[in-house]
Structure 1
Amino acid sequence: MSSSADFSSTQKRGNIHKCPSCGAQLSAFVSACQSCGHEFTDIEANRSITALTDRFEQIEREADERGLSGRNREKAILEKRARVIRDFPVPNSREDLQQLMFFIQPKIVASVQPDPNIEDWRSKFIEVLNRARNAYKDDANMLAEFDRVEASLSASVGEHLQIKAKRNPLLFALLGGVVILGAVAAVSSQMDSRKQHQCEEQYTQDAQSEQARLEKLMQSAEQSYQGKAYPQAQAVAGKVRWELAATTCKVEENQKAGSLWDEKRAGLLAMIQKSVDADQAAAQAAADRVSAEKQAVEQKEAQVARIKAEKEQAQAVEKKW
């Protein structure tokens, strides 16, 4: 009866590993007893792992036989090892699964010099881990152990960055420089944006003041024009010039404002000059009329005097006869 109970317990829990020194129960994937510290030096790999390592050695021999060297040799070995790892069949027995996980685990731990096939090993480890969880689905302790192992392999982002920095210090130094330059550029951009905003606000205020000044001059020139004080109107109109100095912002807008007021000044001066010319023409016409009338009177008086003289001369001749 007792033998049957022990057999049932073994079926449910699988093989129970104990320390040969103190007899304490051992967790999975340990190389030393957690109770007494006894190290295990006689752990043997199962036949699947042995076959896998033999295949890796064969791949290297084949590369040597082909006369490959340097990067070509490394590339050929890397590709064939990746194919072997991906195609390697996952065992079903609990013992084999544990040993295979123990074999793969060191190869996927983040380090300064990682295994060249780390991503292939990682994929295979996940496959083995899922198979092991299914095999130990009724063993809460083993499932918790699997979770612990998986969590221990998940390095934090900071750890990954530290490892990558040690692996490629020059690259990370360059990246750090890029980040610093980016930050400086961002700060500089913000400062430039603030200066641009301040410049635009100042320009708007100055432009409004300049426009008010020119509109006042235009009004004064028009009043003088209406009063026919043309010289004064021309003098005031000549001062209608956009005099706002060029700035680092609103350059195009400032140029357009200058051109606009140049056109207004030219139009006002042309209108005044037209009136001046019209008045001068009218005055000249009046003077010409007066001169013509005077000339006509003088011509008439001369004609009358001539007729009178001729008449007197005729009378004198008659008296002689």
Structure 2
Amino acid sequence: MAFLNEVGKAIGKASQGISDAAQTISSAAQETRENIARDRQEKDMEREAKKLSEQERIAEEARKCPKCGHSLSAMSAVCPLCGYEIRNGKTADAIRGLTTEIEKLEKKRNTVTDALATKLSGRSDNPTDEKIASLIRNFVVPNTKEDIFEFMILAAGYMDARVLAGREAAKEVAGIVIKAWETKFHQTYEKAKLSFGNDGDFGKIQELYDKKMAEIESAKPFSLFKRK
């Protein structure tokens, strides 16, 4: 009997030892995982810091006139010192990129899926049109006169006057997309007016803006009574 008790004690001690060892291994594993996670977080932070530093460097260079080196504001379209026009080739590419992304979404449009999603959500606009509108709303307004004028021509082409005037429902282009173009059209015009409203070249932008606004105004139902 005493022998069995001794055996039991020995087994108990062995079990406790195994349990302690398992706990030690678990703690060590947890510590290792935490160290790995911490190292990964530190590396991510270093990468983000380098990326931010590079972005700041690029932004700093962009705020200088490439001709005379004069510091420029983010809104500058023309250098106030030497008159050099700051045209950004990347912006022109971005405008073309926007139209390309819209075309891609249109090609991937799934009428059945969109119709089902629209019905389930209870909304009138389908997912593809919402994605296109979001692309337009989030597009960064250009800085230079040429880029602004080019973008406003693009936006004006999509702004169906009769739809915006409330005369008819959208057909080829969804109403939410037309509204997004209208919003961006106004934003671009306001930026142009603020950036170089006193410049002689602003006249062509003003003419384009006035023409589109007059087109929408004349399409409104009450405009018929105004003309009588």
TM range (shorter): 0.3 to 0.5
- Which of 1 and 2 has greater Rg? 1
TM value normalised by structure 1: 0.33
TM value normalised by structure 2: 0.44
Higher RCO, Cα 8 Å, sep 6+: 2
